[in-house]
Structure 1
Amino acid sequence: MARTSIDYEDVYQALPGMVALLTPDLVFADVNEAYVRGTGRPRESLIGRYVFDVFPESVNAPDAKNSHHLRASLLRVLATGERDTMPLQRYDIESPEHSGDWQEHYWSPVNCPVLGPDGRIRLILHRVEEVTEFVRARGLGGDTAGRVLEAELYTRARELQELNTRLREAHAREREVALVLQKAMLPATRQMGHRRAAVRYRPAVGALNVCGDWYDLVDLVGGHRIGVSVGDVVGHGLEAAGVMGQLRSALSATSRVADGPGQALNVLGRYANVVDGAESATVVTTFIDFDRHVITYSSAGHPPPVLLHRDGRVEFLDRATDPPLDARPEPRPRPEASVAFSPGATLVLYTDGLIERRREDIDVGLRRLADSLSHHRELDPEPLADTVLRELLPPGGATDDTALVVVRL
């Protein structure tokens, strides 16, 4: 997806609530800045230590069973793989400045599992909300504070449950519309004369089954030629799908009358300037001339197509790359380049969900794609498309949409 990169480590450290990550052995793996401030313990005294060695029972509250309650909650998470919300907990913390000076605190903890690609719990996210001021403002303490806060939490939980029910119902209705839109806007696999092609679309995990990635294959006027394109609109859901449909239809029509792919993208860029939501959209289009055995291509900020030669050599078509659609205040002609091919070669177009991974250089993903294509070059387009998706997409699904087109030349 063409979108702003987010550093989730910075987000984690900036969270206003106290958050710690625990291993399944209940050892601190990481803590955010709010956790360090709230507990009064430096980060180096926490990481790598067993949680109950760091936080034994409160010495000022002999009847407290905080460690017991926390251990029970963490074990429930490990046993069920589900989130566990704890009742209000009192915990007295010794002042880092004055030894023996214990300060009364009230915490509202929640423990959540963090699953790995194999579905197993890799970490437990231990989040704590500091509610001491809430308790003091109401003149409460001990069991009374616990009962009052538990009652308020129960009320909020019921309200959230009702809201979630309404959201699920709305999501189900939106998904039905999404499926109809997807079927209408993305063409099915097709045969182009005796040429074979395969198309695939995989939505991001957790998204509706329609998002901003798209592909298209069109017959071109004059000779034995076709146009093959893929594009990427920022965002997910029905709004992104609407923008995707407009751009795809516009490029499909423009390609049939344009002199080449560069001119087609030039016209599409002017059109994108008046389409809300088309900002930073990317697209690459190729014109394949089967009579001359030539591919002419142009890219507006999109990852390069791949020409897989019959001998397994992989060639990235990256000599005609320009900024995304609507990126320039004053549009200018888009570049285009041409490459020859031999019959039996394969052209592959895709969106960045296939190759991009968080905190990984894009060149690593491109090499992964090249290796997969070269290794399976003997496969026909349909099994080749399935194999590439299986090898390149994460087992649990990608966090970005993926479109893939494979054409045997």
Structure 2
Amino acid sequence: MSAFPIDYAAVFQALPGGVLLLTPQLVIADANEALLWRAGRERHELIGRPLFDVFPDNPDDPDASGMRNLRASLERVVATGVRDSMALQRYDVEAPGRPGTFEERYWSPVNTPVLDADGRVRLIVHRVEEVTEIVRAGAGDHPVDRVRMEAELYTRAQDLQEVNERLRLAQVREREVVLALQEAMLPAPVPVGHHRAAVRYRPAVGALNVCGDWYDLADLPGDRMAVAVGDVVGHGLAAACVMGQLRSALSAAARVADGPARALEVLGIYARSVDGAESTTAVQAVIDWSTHTLSYSSAGHPPPALLHPDGTVELLDGATDPPLGARPEHVDRPEAQVAFADDAVLVLYTDGLIERRLEDIDVGLARLAEALTRHRGADAETLADALLADLLPPGGATDDAALVIIRL
């Protein structure tokens, strides 16, 4: 926080560039003085009105594309939550006091989302710099020069639109490839021994936001099961590939290592040889039904939750260590053990289920505990669906979420 009190409303009005604040429905919420001066409008003419009612295209210009281009950019920002810088636009403006008379104007726009704690777009900052005089000076006085300049600007705008559309399609295809790859690498929810687990994976919203979350279940000798979840830093195809390598390595280590801490130590050593595996978090637990004990170890991951039959929730945070690759040298990882009663529930998850932007993680953990207590009588499959419905934002989260639930 700043040591000096700041009047952000005054700062907004004093910005030298023209700025509009728009709602996701493209209604004008506010405008600064520079924008009002450039557009030749009074505040009451803008606030609360749809953007394109105030600034329509010139109806007498059949080639006018400013409104279409701007709408496409703003809708991309709302859909993706990502800033969009537009090409130079010719967007004529109705002359103040002369309805139906449009003045030739050129603008350089940038549209930036303002996100809430759940990653949803609440406002769009539409910043524009007017460059009309620069364009006119560059075009020269001869009519042929003017036509050539306008044609070049139009061509550049159309080329950028085509590039943006190709980029969008490439992002959609990458998302489809990543999701298919993750689906192929994550194990199917089949019974392990005579015990059944409910598993869920929910990808993040946005073309490039699919990340490297994973879960794994392994049948061990005796009446035991190893269960793990992990989260690779990064997103897209690279993170998914790293996820596949680490999940397979931990699954193999869990079958031969002497407990979850040793399994994570093996994974940590292996992760040093995998590009992109640095700072991956993971938690491994081994359930032993013959002794009614649960051993666990965490590499920087949010704590598993143990829902007891009486409805109390215990966060398993007694064996937490830094993420993979965080230490330059090998150090033994800690391991803890806890007893459980029949009909208890073990919940492992990734941070996308509980964390929200600008919110302390303890708030998300409390929200998880409350939901578990409220749904404690549900079977594993029903409980998994209830947790996703209660904890994930209605419009989808900006981070992946993996979830494993086992009724003990």
- TM norm structure 2: 0.74
Match of 1:154, as an amino acid? Y
Change (3 A) 1:176 1:361: closer
Distance 1:393 1:20 in 2: 31
Alpha-carbon contact 2:107-2:132 (below 8 Å) kept = no
Following superposition of structure 1 onto structure 2, how do residues 3-402 of structure 1 map, counting pairs within 5 Å?
19-22=19-22, 28-29=29-30, 50=44, 52=46, 69=56, 82=75, 87-88=90-91, 107-108=106-107, 123=123, 125-132=125-132, 134-135=134-135, 137-138=137-138, 151-168=151-168, 170-171=170-171, 173-207=173-207, 211-221=211-221, 223-402=222-401
Cα deviation for residue 68 of structure 1 reads 5.7
Match of 2:403, as an amino acid? L
Match of 1:87, as an amino acid? R
Alpha-carbon contact 1:83-1:110 (below 8 Å) kept = no
Cα deviation for residue 207 of structure 1 reads 3.5
Change (3 A) 1:203 1:89: same
Change (3 A) 1:29 1:348: farther
Change (3 A) 1:347 1:154: same
Greater CA drift, 150-159 or 273-282 = 150-159
Distance 2:58 2:384 in 1: 48
Cα deviation for residue 238 of structure 1 reads 1.4
Change (3 A) 1:70 1:88: closer
Change (3 A) 1:209 1:310: same
Indicate the RMSD between aligned Cα atoms, in angstroms: 4.3
Change (3 A) 1:26 1:367: same
Match of 1:385, as an amino acid? A
Q: Deviations over 1:269-305 (max 9, x none)?
A: 1111111000111000101111000111000000000
Match of 1:239, as an amino acid? A
Alpha-carbon contact 2:210-2:399 (below 8 Å) kept = no
Match of 1:182, SS?
A: helix
Match of 2:229, as an amino acid? V
Cα deviation for residue 211 of structure 1 reads 2.8
Unaligned runs of 5+ in 2: 1-7, 38-42, 48-52, 60-65, 78-85, 96-103
Alpha-carbon contact 1:109-1:126 (below 8 Å) kept = no
Alpha-carbon contact 2:346-2:405 (below 8 Å) kept = yes
Match of 1:256, SS?
A: helix
Alpha-carbon contact 2:294-2:340 (below 8 Å) kept = yes
Distance 1:88 1:77 in 2: 9
Alpha-carbon contact 1:77-1:83 (below 8 Å) kept = no
Q: Deviations over 1:332-354 (max 9, x none)?
A: 00001111000100000000000
Q: Deviations over 1:83-111 (max 9, x none)?
A: 7996345899xxxxxxxxxxxx9651659
Q: Deviations over 1:134-173 (max 9, x none)?
A: 32641658x9999766534421232123324543554455
Cα deviation for residue 113 of structure 1 reads 10
Match of 1:300, as an amino acid? A
**Number of aligned residue pairs:** 360
- TM norm structure 1: 0.74
Match of 2:90, SS?
A: coil
Cα deviation for residue 39 of structure 1 reads 6.0
Change (3 A) 1:376 1:148: farther
Match of 1:366, as an amino acid? L
Greater CA drift, 292-301 or 106-115 = 106-115
Distance 1:270 1:124 in 2: 45
Report the counterpart of residue 99 of structure 2 in structure 1: none
Alpha-carbon contact 1:309-1:342 (below 8 Å) kept = yes
Unaligned runs of 5+ in 1: 1-8, 42-48, 54-65, 93-104
Aligned-pair identity in percent equals 60
Cα deviation for residue 219 of structure 1 reads 1.0
Distance 1:69 1:260 in 2: 67
Match of 2:183, SS?
A: helix
Q: Deviations over 1:233-278 (max 9, x none)?
A: 0111211111001111111111111111111111111111111000
Cα deviation for residue 21 of structure 1 reads 1.2
Change (3 A) 1:383 1:242: same
Distance 1:212 1:153 in 2: 41
Q: Deviations over 1:312-370 (max 9, x none)?
A: 10000001111000000012000011110001000000000001111111111111111
Change (3 A) 1:145 1:88: farther
Cα deviation for residue 177 of structure 1 reads 3.5
Cα deviation for residue 70 of structure 1 reads 8.8
Match of 2:318, SS?
A: coil
Change (3 A) 1:21 1:51: farther
Distance 1:295 1:82 in 2: 49
